[in-house]
Amino acid sequence: MTVKEIFDTMEYGPAPESASEALAWLVDRGDSFGHFINGAFTKPGKGFPSKNPANGETLAIISQGTQSDVDAAVKAARAAQGPWAKTSGHARAKYLYAIARLVQKHSRLFAVLETLDNGKPIRESRDIDIPLVARHFYYHAGMAQLMEAELPDAEAIGVCGQVIPWNFPLLMLAWKIAPAIAMGNTVVLKPAEYTSLTALLFAEICQEAGLPHGVVNIVTGDGATGEAIVTHEGIDKVAFTGSTAVGRKIRAATAGQNKVLTLELGGKSPYIVFDDADIDSAIEGLVDAIWFNQGQVCCAGSRLLVQEGIAEDFYARLRARMASLRIGDPLDKCIDVGAIVDPVQLATIKRLVADHGNEGTVYQAPCIMPADGCFYPPTLITDLHTSSVLMQEEIFGPVLCATTFRTPDEAVQIANNTRYGLAATLWTENVNLALDVAPKLVAGVVWVNATNLFDAAAGFGGVRESGMGREGGWEGLSAYTKSKSKSKKLAPVEAIPEPTTVKVNGLDRTAKLYVGGKQARPDSGYSKAVYGHKGALLGHVGVGSRKDIRNAVEAAHSASKWGKTTGHLRAQILYYIAENLSTRAEEFAKTLDAMQPKSAKHSGKAEVEATISRLFTYAAWADKYDGLAHGVPIRGVALAMKEPVGVIGALCADEAPLLGLISVMAPAIAMGNTCVLVASQPFPLAATDFYQVLDTSDVPAGVVNIITGEHSGLGATLTDHMDVDAIWNFSSTDISGDLERRSASNLKRTWLNQGHARDWYGTQGGGREFLMQATEVKNIWIPYGE
């Protein structure tokens, strides 16, 4: 065969990787495994087979974790957590460094075992997964070293329950364990039922590194084992990577348990190709985007959007490239597409294409298919409508769904037409177009002229129903640390009851709601009297209803252009609000004093002064809460951009009626969000007076909306609303658990007080924590150079 023929046919001889070392490792351990608890392996129990999906052969028997196994693992983790957290950052760094080195020393064994267990091509395991695993432990060794100096006010959360998927078994383990133990937490991790072997090999690595007993515990099993971990009362933080459906169940199951929760869930990521793109490069990128790991990737570029003028040429070249893809034994280094992880997943892929492929035109690559094993050919389905099932639902297989667009604005509209928001890719030779489109895409990660770039320094995670939180980078550490400041239980704050003899002064005063920049009567038609502590009737406020919330959310959405304004403009408006409040300081102080008895610690005057100061603080932050250019190991940059969350619904503090409201509003709008604020339930008049200040401070209509009424009902309505992006709760009414359960409907972000008080006058009342909660981090990867 000539060189030309080789390039034309892309035919290569087999290059098999030997599995003998990995199989010998399994044999040496009796082809069966117990759990790894408190630094040692338990005796193998009743279990299930872990099979090679390429040929169906059983590799080992994995023990099914029981409730008692989980209890033992949590007990061990709890006992180890205190001493581990007190260990110096430098000492923890040395352990993480040792783990990284051992991963490198055993890299070939890890790679082969991963391919045997998962079915992915050995080239991917060897060249991508395992190096990234080592990179995560090296990177977080550095984070452990720097924690005491750079995060002096942070401490470990406690015991972390972690449940990982089968598509990147060892890499997902590294994403979870490395930051957790670096920050002083201990972990109980459950690998996927299909792919537990590399996690068990990692347990041996922990032993070789001399990691203290109980810091890392691994319990194998099915979904019931995972449920036992995430709902265990001894778990302080839950980290889950998997499907959106399971993530929704976890959100509901953990509601009210006061657990920190991060979810990295599904996606339906767009892959946008503009007409000026390097088509051949874009096609090679697409091969990596959708056929990498057989398409079993949460951020796979499974929705192809091609500009109409080049669509037919692009499809023709893509079909030719698909015809040259090689499918077969994943241990063959010449194979491009390996095996689907399990017959159950293979059946799901087949069913989705069979049931809905007729909505478009199906093309399957004419590849030689293995006679045995779980294999599915690379598939392209064109001519699909944006609402087609296959364009909306995650297939999690080697199936690419395609449609066309005419203009960049239409491309953005189609790309964002999904309930997911994990990743996106765009290809263009026009840097101006790329940097115009990338910020408009609703995704946690955007790749420009590249795809599937990952690094420990750049946080990964999504928005919408693709999850909450980030993994990796500085932003990822927030999921594994908490503030050292302590808080007390928050007692319910009651309104002043109607006195026996009511003092009525002057004309009737009925405060309205504030929606869309206008005063609005409550749809309920009801109002509630507000009494002062000296027996005076201070006025009436409207009782907000479901329809009032609906109107306020619509107004907030209509003001979404606020997020595109400059930080400088938002700062000016916040300063203006402070100025106008200052001119009426005496009036507001009088209202606050009338509603609440003056205490030795606080007074109306002190609250107004603190409120003005807080407005100045967030005006200062509006143009200074910067993103980062991450130092990723490529010739390019990963820009971590701070973006507004969207529409924030907030139940404001009862005990600080003005300061609590402003401490929520100011950071939200400073970062470009719009908000629906439910005022202090017992003392609402400060909030209704405040909208008069907004009217005179150039705040665009709909940016701030104020509703008065009962917190539990209005909070439930806000949380149920599908167009509210985040819920904050600082109410003294204990409703955090109910709001968490309700938030599972669309997995909106939650920041809830869990019934604990916050010192609104001190550092707890403001600062970076509020800014972090008011923003999402989008990482935009931009390679450069020829």
Write the DSSP assignment of 56-88 as a string of letters.
Answer: --EEEEEE---HHHHHHHHHHHHHHHHHHHHS-
185: buried, middle or exposed (CB in 10 Å: 19+, 13-18, 0-12)? Answer: buried
Helix axes 89-105, 107-118, angle to 10 degrees: 70
Catalytic residue status for 264: yes
CA angle 417, 418, 423 (to 5 degrees): 105
Residue 9 pLDDT greater than 80, yes or no? no
The candidate with the shortest Cα–Cα distance to 259, out of 437, 459, 482, is 482
Distance set, CA 711 to CA 255, 572, 715, 758 (Å): 18, 32, 5, 18
Exposure string of 261-295, with b = 16+ CB inside 10 Å and e = fewer, is bbbbbbbbbbbbbbeebebeebbebbbbbbbbbbb
Residue 509 pLDDT greater than 80, yes or no? no
Share of the chain above pLDDT 90, in %: 88
Which pLDDT value is given to residue 736? 94
Which pLDDT value is given to residue 53? 96
Q: Looking at residues 27-45, what average pLDDT do you find?
A: 96
Q: Looking at residues 311-330, what average pLDDT do you find?
A: 96
What pLDDT, in 10s, does the model give residues 407-452?
999 999 999 999 999 999 999 999 999 999 999 999 999 999 999 9
Number of DSSP helices (H) and strands (E) in the chain, helices first: 27, 34
In which band, very low, low, confident or very high, does the pLDDT at 690 lie, cut at 50, 70 and 90? very high
Cα separation, 9 vs 6, whole angstroms: 5
Which pLDDT value is given to residue 498? 84
Q: Are 418 and 403 in contact (CB under 8 A)?
A: no
The candidate with the shortest Cα–Cα distance to 304, out of 277, 264, 332, is 277
Which pLDDT value is given to residue 138? 97
Q: Which of 264, 394, 655, 776 is flagged as catalytic?
A: 264
Q: Looking at residues 83-88, what average pLDDT do you find?
A: 97
In which band, very low, low, confident or very high, does the pLDDT at 233 lie, cut at 50, 70 and 90? very high
Q: Pairing state of beta strands 636-644 and 775-783?
A: antiparallel
Which pLDDT value is given to residue 486? 86
Which pLDDT value is given to residue 596? 84
Which pLDDT value is given to residue 599? 66
3-state secondary structure of 305: strand
What pLDDT, in 10s, does the model give residues 162-171?
999 999 999 9
Query: Which is it for the CA torsion 274, 279, 283, 289, positive or negative?
Result: negative
In which band, very low, low, confident or very high, does the pLDDT at 786 lie, cut at 50, 70 and 90? low
Residue 335: count other Cβ atoms within 10 Å of its Cβ: 25
Chain centre distance of CA 654: 30
Which pLDDT value is given to residue 595? 87
Which pLDDT value is given to residue 507? 59
pTM for the complete prediction?
0.93
Which pLDDT value is given to residue 511? 81
Which pLDDT value is given to residue 465? 94
What pLDDT, in 10s, does the model give residues 108-121?
999 999 999 999 99
In which band, very low, low, confident or very high, does the pLDDT at 718 lie, cut at 50, 70 and 90? very high
Q: Is 738 left (phi over 0), alpha (psi -120 to 50) or beta?
A: alpha
Enumerate residues 6+ apart whose C-beta is below 8 A from 142: 93
Which pLDDT value is given to residue 10? 63
Q: Are 165 and 178 in contact (CB under 8 A)?
A: no
CA angle 163, 166, 172 (to 5 degrees): 55
Dig out the tokens for 38 from the structure: 């408190």
Residue 504 pLDDT greater than 80, yes or no? no
Ordered alpha helix ranges (H), 446-584: 473-477, 546-558, 567-583
Residue 539 pLDDT greater than 90, yes or no? no
Cα separation, 591 vs 390, whole angstroms: 58
Which pLDDT value is given to residue 508? 61
Q: Looking at residues 16-33, what average pLDDT do you find?
A: 94
CA angle 31, 34, 39 (to 5 degrees): 125
What pLDDT, in 10s, does the model give residues 577-627?
999 999 999 999 999 998 887 665 678 999 999 999 999 999 999 999 999
Cα separation, 599 vs 576, whole angstroms: 30
Residue 737 pLDDT greater than 80, yes or no? yes
Which pLDDT value is given to residue 11? 67
Enumerate residues 6+ apart whose C-beta is below 8 A from 521: 512, 513, 542
Dig out the tokens for 255 from the structure: 């509601």
Q: Which of 160, 206, 298, 675 is flagged as catalytic?
A: 298
Cα separation, 77 vs 332, whole angstroms: 40
What pLDDT, in 10s, does the model give residues 465-495?
999 999 999 989 989 999 998 888 998 998 8
Q: Are 435 and 337 in contact (CB under 8 A)?
A: no
3-state secondary structure of 695: helix
Distance set, CA 61 to CA 27, 193, 195, 414 (Å): 11, 11, 11, 46
Residue 280 pLDDT greater than 70, yes or no? yes
Q: What is the mean pLDDT of the chain?
A: 94
Element (H, E) at 642: strand 636-644
Share of the chain above pLDDT 70, in %: 98
